[in-house]
Structure 1
Amino acid sequence: MTNRIETVSVIIPNWNGEHLLRLCLDSLRKQTFQDFIVYIVDNGSIDQSIHLLEDEYPEVVVLRHCENLGFSAAINTGIENSRGVYIAALNNDTEAHPAWLETIVTAMDTRTDAGFCASQLMDFKSRDKIDSLGDGYYPFGVSFKIGSGRLNNVHEITEVQSACAAASVYRREMLEKIGLFDTDFFAYMEDIDLGLRAQMAGYSCIFVPGAIVYHMGSASSGGKASAFSVRLTTRNTYRVILKNVPAVLIPVYLVCTFGAQMVALLMSLIVGKPRSLRDHRAAFFSGLFAALKEAGDSIRKRRALATLRSETASQFIATTIRSIRLNRSL
């Protein structure tokens, strides 16, 4: 372990990502800003990921789990074993533009009111198309990628509700106050959970134009919805609501979320879409029952966060509306 304190700690979770790592790490070697250290947190890979890192990337700090503990646990391990002022969460299925970190650091140094930021995530194959300019959160309990599939016409730093953890940057001092990623999520929606928790504590999130990262999307998991992803997303949807939504709005969000899910389930029975529900209805109900079973735990976590709450329901609604309007304007 190095004794140097870096400005940015770039943390990359990895699970059998040998086929992805070269492109990702080579793009980091080309960064115009060089005061960073890369931490690869390996979740029990059985491919040649570790050998590749040891043989070709000696500058990378490798942290190993014996099994797949999920995205949240991997990011947390990297945070706990690094010392950077800024924490950059980065997926292994990405290619960073050479100016990515320089643009991010300049923006965060200037906008001291921002606790975290979203990169300009672009589609890996159609590079003029947006993957995400940040995340918003709909009243029916799901997050959405701002601008997904459209051309980018946002050229100024803009406040958004949250950041996609495929390429997001957090102030360490903020994480020390609000806590790290919730490992009970395992994967899916852990970034919106952290983002809403940060907003709850009074931190803003900014989208940083020009901080470009090209993103393949779900490359490690095969790119298609699985029973695993359907179950966890369904369960985690309710975890986010019970933990983070202002109390007065919880009934509205629960009713809207359950209603939207029932409509989607009915459509999957009638017309076969959405495909994820058509193919994995059992996983959906498993996630629903898990959310109900674990509701008490989610509420206990909410109570533990009570001291953080400085955001009012009206502020929460205003931030939500701002991200929805930004998404519609693109």
Structure 2
Amino acid sequence: MKQIAVIILNWNGVSLLEQFLPSVLAHSPEATIYVADNASTDASIDFIKTHYPTVQIILNAANYGFAQGYNTALEQVDAAIYALVNSDIEVTPNWLQPILDTFDKEPNTAIQQPKILDYKNKSYFEYAGAAGGFIDKYGYPYCRGRIFETVEQDFGQYNDSIEIAWASGACFFIRSAVYKELEGFDASFFAHQEEIDLCWRASNKGYTIKYNPYSVVYHVGGATLEQGSPQKTYLNFRNSLLMLTKNLPKQKLFSILLSRMVLDGIAGIHFIFKRQFVHFIAILKAHYSFYGMFYKMYSKRGSEQTEKYYHTKSIVYTYYIKCGKIFAKS
């Protein structure tokens, strides 16, 4: 058994497998490679069997999305470290060794992410993860190297290995023992922000999450749901509220949820002024769905919540009012 398993979740992504699977195989001698397939109806499985017979295939019974898709697949993977990798990721030589070295040297580090750059513009960070994830007091996520729509160029300004609040699900390393202890991703999320929830739960248990700049990958992004998709808007707004309900310190829970709902309302009005009515409706649907799921999520709260869980009080205020559009000014 190899120490690390690379697991690529796939759904009707044969073109992405054709493009990116070769780099994973070429640069991952330390790992066993798996493709976990969410009941694809394209030629994905035939392609893998024909061209890459050494790749292990896990067949999920349906399209379970990101969260349950990985939860189901990982029941069949035996390794000390899981590397959960999107199918639209190009890896680079020696991308795994810095990750393994950190896990070996730091027993309390449970989760890591590499530097994630934009496949389409390789001198820039990529939206989904960049140089490590953070949240503000109200649960809005952002990254070193990417705040809302502002993405920074990589000049080496984030070439330090630091503790972060969350690691990107685009390329997510976790100790299998911790994954099992936390019972994996919350399948209620389906997709989007489930990795933030998992990292927050790990932090509440006392584990460390880190950004590792010595491992570099390139991410296409938006290959499953495009950035402007109303379904993406719905999932992001709903799942953020679910995450807050599960993980906020109890004394802050209801005041922050109320504040978030007001801020979400302002975001909805912003969409109306931009004539993006489908996104306004997506926010309404997100809130109605959240109301129906609140008690279920509240019952999942752990016995401990980290008091200082956020990096800055309000990234919305910093970004739009103070014009702090790069991480160094946030």
Equivalent residue, structure 2, for 1:13: 9
1:87–1:172 Cα contact (<8 Å) kept: yes
Equivalent residue, structure 2, for 1:217: 221
Deviation of 1:56 (Å):
0.8
- Equivalent positions of 1:239-318 (< 5 A) are 239-272=242-275, 275=276, 278-302=277-301, 305-306=302-303, 309=304, 312-313=306-307, 315-317=308-310
2:269–2:280 Cα contact (<8 Å) kept: no
**Amino acid aligned to 1:226:** S
Equivalent residue, structure 1, for 2:321: none
Equivalent residue, structure 2, for 1:55: 50
**1:163 paired to 2:167:** yes
Q: Secondary structure at 1:197's aligned position in 2?
A: helix
Point out the more displaced range, 167-176 or 197-206.
167-176
**Quick one: which of 227, 234, 238 aligns to 1:235?**
238
Q: Secondary structure at 2:215's aligned position in 1?
A: strand
Q: Higher helix share goes to which structure?
A: 1
Calculate percent identity across the aligned residue pairs: 25
Deviation of 1:327 (Å):
6.1
Q: Secondary structure at 1:50's aligned position in 2?
A: helix
Equivalent residue, structure 1, for 2:152: 150
Q: TM-score, normalised by structure 1?
A: 0.89
Which whole-Å deviations, capped at 9, do the CAs of 1:36-70 have from their partners, x for residues lacking one? 11121111111111111110111111111232111
Equivalent residue, structure 2, for 1:107: 102
Q: TM-score, normalised by structure 2?
A: 0.89
Cα distance in 2, alignment partners of residues 54 and 246 from structure 1? 48
Cα distance in 2, alignment partners of residues 110 and 144 from structure 1? 28
Runs of 4+ more than 4 Å apart: 324-327
Q: Aligned Cα RMSD in Å?
A: 2.1
Cα distance in 2, alignment partners of residues 62 and 116 from structure 1? 24
Q: Secondary structure at 1:228's aligned position in 2?
A: helix
**1:198 paired to 2:206:** no
1:41–1:77 Cα contact (<8 Å) kept: no
Deviation of 1:282 (Å):
2.4
**Amino acid aligned to 1:255:** L
Equivalent residue, structure 2, for 1:98: 93
1:227–1:280 Cα contact (<8 Å) kept: yes
Cα distance in 1, alignment partners of residues 306 and 43 from structure 2? 49
Deviation of 1:18 (Å):
0.5
**Amino acid aligned to 1:280:** H
Aligned length: 312
Cα distance in 2, alignment partners of residues 38 and 249 from structure 1? 43
Q: Secondary structure at 1:316's aligned position in 2?
A: coil
Deviation of 1:326 (Å):
12
1:39–1:78 Cα contact (<8 Å) kept: no
Point out the more displaced range, 281-290 or 49-58.
281-290
Cα distance in 2, alignment partners of residues 228 and 312 from structure 1? 30
Q: Secondary structure at 1:294's aligned position in 2?
A: helix
Equivalent residue, structure 1, for 2:320: none
Which whole-Å deviations, capped at 9, do the CAs of 1:95-123 have from their partners, x for residues lacking one? 00111111211122122221111111001
Q: Which runs of 5+ in 2 are unaligned?
A: 316-323
Report the CA distance shift for 1:138/1:231 in structure 2 as closer, same or farther (over 3 A).
Answer: same
Cα distance in 1, alignment partners of residues 134 and 160 from structure 2? 18
Report the CA distance shift for 1:326/1:104 in structure 2 as closer, same or farther (over 3 A).
Answer: farther
**Amino acid aligned to 2:17:** L
Q: Secondary structure at 1:84's aligned position in 2?
A: coil
Cα distance in 1, alignment partners of residues 9 and 111 from structure 2? 19
**Amino acid aligned to 2:197:** D
Point out the more displaced range, 37-46 or 138-147.
138-147
Which whole-Å deviations, capped at 9, do the CAs of 1:78-99 have from their partners, x for residues lacking one? 3211111111110001100111
1:40–1:78 Cα contact (<8 Å) kept: no
Q: Secondary structure at 2:74's aligned position in 1?
A: helix
Equivalent residue, structure 2, for 1:226: 229
2:137–2:309 Cα contact (<8 Å) kept: no
Point out the more displaced range, 41-50 or 248-257.
248-257
2:248–2:306 Cα contact (<8 Å) kept: no
